[in-house]
């Protein structure tokens, strides 16, 4: 009896990714894959494109999209649905799950004439709470990892067909994706992959279930030459079609003719690598050591179902920046839901969907939390939505609540043009400063976090292009990105040293007469809602925030005998689109441009400076021909000024890299003149 190969591929690019990157992915992968598969109509398979990527390809590459339509019409391709902008469904509200899934299903039906009955789950994140939304939107089955089933105690030998689960009486069928297939295709030689499928047939398996990223077929390191230039994909397809022991089918065809293997209830989980990435660095190292010990002892395959690690939502507790973005998104979703239906627009819904795109909320080998342009895309859409909401149903000018559930209240100041958020955690610093006209959050930066892979830097300097290693798992093939170590930039261990304090705006330090530094992290609210006080031995610092229009004013009042010979220092971590690109530069009061954001700038005294960025506001509704946006700083009395780039070190499938997250500006008032000293800092967002 032949084994049925259920072959599915998933294509996705993050919302906000650079057009050049998407065009390159299309040229090296998407287009070539479709052109090869077009030549084999009898090879049936399933496909999922995220809606945001599909929109881009429909506009830019109509010929290849016409190819897809032809292959769909002749029955070669089955379309899978999902959330339109690739959210983790479990991380967004039920109402948004429904609109996300429906939007993509409508889009696929409109362009390709098929309404999906199957769905791809982003990062294969499974929580049973997503079942009702999937069923309500017409989805009948999804594909998740066989690992999910093993964690539920299912016999691995029985994972060759679909099972059934339910939530609140609503039924959904689940296909277990074979890990063995994910690690073979396309990394082992085509003949070996075909022989493996034939062995499954001889063993009596009903189906070989595969669904994974299409980017493995041309974008991952080494795969373009391997899959196309050396002919892996053609060899594999022809080998499958020539074998009497293998037949292909879409998931829909298989689902229609087979019966479920029975009922199953899966635990909350994702793929096994993700479960490691979600853990804090010390726990991740311990977990990884446990896995390696089990492998060395020969027990890993037997025990891996019981070695589960964390869950996807742990990213929101690991990274305060991701949690803040997520809770702000949930708040905006609630505001939109409260709006009368007649006032809601398609554009507002699309902004919300894009703000829910998964990539910027997590970090692992493929997650995009460390990539500023992906976080910026989330914030752009979130703030564009809030600008529309402010026109229809303005939020209060002043709110105080614990929005992100971290145990500290946030003070939200709104002016209609801007939003300033101060966290009451002792630092009394800004966690967000957003301009609605520019649709940009200047506080959107990332601190240096401890990551488990930073241990690979402990030997000292690692050189760009050096240190490539592979596991040898496919001796005659190529290495998976999971097994590679390489360095895109020269990196020292010190570059990854974790930050002791958050990366906010107006993080203050008191410097005593003897040079002793003391973090001002004991501010307490005093009197007026936006008024904070910190005290020490014979000194007192009062700090006050005020927001009017696009101008944020921070004032300090310093008193006490010890103030006469002390210094006050504040740090501003400002996220700008160009970072170390060509479009970002400092402009002094006299018009002089000393350098760009990626360089160090030291000035003995400064009262005014502008941070200009050609990309700032480029996605907003700024009229054509207007000047680029800028952030203006005005300080009185004039402090010393120091600015340098803030980098983080992260690892992606391409290797270790240093990424500029923000401009870190330090203002220091050299000598506080005595009792009653007043300092004023104005930050103005201008379009």
Per residue in 330-365, pLDDT (tens digit) is 999 999 999 999 999 999 999 999 999 999 999 988
pLDDT, average across residues 303-319: 93
Q: Which pLDDT value is given to residue 474?
A: 57
- Residues of the chain within CATH 3.20.110.20 domain(s) are 3-270
Residue 549, pLDDT > 70, answer yes
Query: Would you place residue 228 in the very low, low, confident or very high pLDDT band (cuts 50, 70, 90)?
Result: very high
Residue 288's Cα: distance from chain center in Å? 23
Nearest residue to 419 via CA among 404, 403, 388, 398? 398
Q: Which pLDDT value is given to residue 537?
A: 87
Q: Which pLDDT value is given to residue 582?
A: 84
Residue 481, pLDDT > 80, answer no
List Cβ neighbours of 512 (8 Å cut-off, separation of 6 or more). Answer: 518, 562, 566
Residue 487, pLDDT > 80, answer no
pLDDT tens-digit profile of 488-504? 567 877 788 999 999 99
Whole-angstrom distance, CA of residue 680 vs CA of residue 687: 23
291 conformational bin, left if phi > 0, alpha if psi -120 to 50, beta if neither: alpha
pLDDT tens-digit profile of 86-111? 999 999 999 999 999 999 999 999 99
Query: Would you place residue 249 in the very low, low, confident or very high pLDDT band (cuts 50, 70, 90)?
Result: very high
Angle between helices 62-73 and 94-112 (to 10 degrees): 90
Q: Determine which one of 55, 213, 273, 580 is catalytic.
A: 213
Q: Which pLDDT value is given to residue 625?
A: 47
Q: Which pLDDT value is given to residue 200?
A: 97
CATH topology of domain 3-270: 7-stranded beta/alpha barrel (3.20.110)
pLDDT, average across residues 372-395: 97
Residue 119, pLDDT > 80, answer yes
Element spanning 573, H or E: strand 567-574
213 is catalytic: yes
Which one-letter DSSP state was computed for residue 445?
-
Residue 591, pLDDT > 80, answer yes
- In 357-404, DSSP assigns E strands to 398-401
pLDDT, average across residues 614-630: 67
Q: Which pLDDT value is given to residue 687?
A: 78
Whole-angstrom distance, CA of residue 78 vs CA of residue 20: 29
Residue 401, pLDDT > 90, answer yes
Q: Biggest alpha carbon distance in the chain?
A: 91
Sequence length of the chain is 687
Nearest residue to 335 via CA among 380, 395, 384, 378? 395
> For the ranges 508-522, 571-585, 621-635, 672-686, which has the lowest average pLDDT?
621-635
Q: Which pLDDT value is given to residue 472?
A: 44
Residue 473, pLDDT > 80, answer no
Angle between helices 94-112 and 320-338 (to 10 degrees): 80
pLDDT, average across residues 277-289: 91
Query: Would you place residue 628 in the very low, low, confident or very high pLDDT band (cuts 50, 70, 90)?
Result: confident
CATH classification (class only), 505-648+655-686: mainly beta
Nearest residue to 159 via CA among 126, 208, 117, 193? 208
pLDDT tens-digit profile of 7-53? 999 999 999 999 999 999 999 999 999 999 999 999 999 999 999 99
- Residues of the chain within CATH 2.70.98.10 domain(s) are 505-648+655-686
Q: What is the mean pLDDT of the chain?
A: 92
More confident residue, 628 or 589: 589
Q: Are the C-beta atoms of residues 538 and 560 closer than 8 Å to each other?
A: yes
Which one-letter DSSP state was computed for residue 219?
T
258 is catalytic: no
Angle between helices 31-38 and 232-242 (to 10 degrees): 30
CA angle 54, 273, 143 (to 5 degrees): 50
Residue 614, pLDDT > 80, answer yes
List Cβ neighbours of 293 (8 Å cut-off, separation of 6 or more). Answer: none
């Amino acid at each position: 009896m032949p084994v049925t190969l259920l072959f599915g591929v998933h294509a996705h690019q993050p919302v906000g990714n650079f057009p050049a990157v998407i065009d390159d992915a299309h040229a090296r992968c998407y287009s070539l894959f479709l052109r090869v598969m077009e030549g084999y109509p009898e090879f049936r398979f399933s496909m999922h494109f995220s809606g945001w990527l599909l929109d881009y390809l429909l506009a830019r590459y109509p010929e290849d999209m016409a190819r897809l339509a032809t292959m769909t019409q002749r029955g070669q391709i089955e379309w899978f649905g999902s959330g339109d902008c690739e959210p983790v469904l479990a991380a967004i509200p039920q109402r948004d799950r429904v609109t996300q899934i429906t939007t993509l299903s409508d889009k696929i039906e409109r362009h390709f004439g098929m309404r999906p009955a199957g769905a791809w789950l982003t990062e294969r994140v499974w929580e049973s709470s997503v079942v009702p939304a999937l069923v309500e939107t017409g989805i009948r089955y999804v594909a998740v990892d066989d690992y999910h089933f093993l964690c539920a105690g299912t016999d691995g030998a029985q994972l060759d067909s679909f099972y059934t689960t339910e939530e609140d009486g609503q039924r959904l069928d689940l296909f277990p994706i074979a890990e063995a297939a994910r690690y073979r295709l396309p990394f082992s030689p085509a003949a070996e992959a075909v022989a493996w499928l034939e062995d499954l047939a001889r063993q009596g398996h009903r189906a070989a279930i595969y669904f994974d990223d299409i980017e493995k077929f041309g974008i991952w390191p080494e795969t373009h030459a391997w899959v196309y230039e050396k002919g892996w994909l053609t060899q594999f397809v022809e080998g499958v079609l020539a074998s009497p022991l293998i037949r292909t089918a879409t998931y829909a065809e298989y689902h229609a003719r087979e019966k479920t293997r029975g009922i199953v209830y899966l635990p909350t989980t994702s793929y096994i690598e993700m479960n490691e990435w979600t853990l804090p660095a010390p726990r991740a190292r311990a977990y990884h050591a446990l896995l390696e010990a089990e492998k060395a002892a020969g027990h890993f395959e037997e025990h891996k179902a019981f070695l589960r690690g964390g869950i996807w939502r742990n990213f929101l507790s690991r990274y305060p920046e991701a949690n803040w973005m997520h809770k702000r998104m949930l708040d905006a979703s609630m505001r939109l839901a409260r709006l009368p239906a007649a006032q809601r627009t398609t554009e507002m819904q699309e902004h919300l969907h894009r703000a829910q795109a998964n990539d910027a909320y997590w970090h692992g080998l493929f997650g995009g939390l460390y990539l500023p342009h992906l976080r910026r895309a989330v914030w752009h859409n979130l703030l564009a939505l809030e600008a529309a909401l402010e026109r229809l149903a303005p939020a209060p000018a002043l709110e105080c609540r614990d929005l992100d559930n971290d145990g500290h209240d946030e003070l939200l100041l709104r002016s209609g043009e801007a939003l300033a958020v101060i966290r009451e955690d002792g630092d009394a610093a800004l966690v967000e400063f957003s301009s609605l006209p520019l649709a940009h959050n200047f506080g959107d930066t990332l601190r240096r976090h401890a990551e488990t892979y930073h241990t690979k830097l402990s030997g000292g300097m690692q050189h760009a292009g050096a240190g490539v290693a592979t596991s040898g798992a496919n001796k005659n093939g190529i290495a998976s990105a999971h097994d590679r170590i390489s360095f895109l930039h020269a990196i020292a261990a010190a570059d990854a040293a974790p930050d002791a304090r958050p990366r906010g705006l107006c993080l203050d330090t008191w410097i005593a007469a003897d040079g002793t530094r003391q973090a001002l992290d004991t501010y307490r609210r005093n009197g007026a809602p936006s008024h904070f006080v910190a005290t020490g031995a014979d000194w007192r610092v009062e700090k006050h925030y005020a927001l009017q229009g696009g101008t944020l004013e921070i004032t300090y009042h310093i008193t006490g005998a010890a103030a006469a010979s002390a210094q006050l220092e504040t740090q501003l971590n400002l996220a700008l689109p160009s970072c170390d690109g060509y479009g970002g530069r400092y402009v002094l009061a006299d018009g002089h441009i000393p350098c760009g954001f990626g360089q160090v700038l030291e000035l003995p005294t400064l009262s005014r400076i502008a941070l200009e960025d050609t990309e700032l506001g480029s996605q907003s509704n700024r009229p054509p021909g207007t000047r680029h946006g800028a952030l203006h700083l005005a300080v009185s009395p004039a402090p010393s000024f120091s600015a340098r780039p803030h980098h983080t070190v992260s690892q992606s499938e391409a290797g270790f890299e240093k990424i500029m997250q923000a401009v870190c500006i330090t203002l220091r008032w050299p000598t506080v003149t005595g009792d009653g000293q007043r300092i004023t800092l104005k930050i103005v967002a201008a379009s």
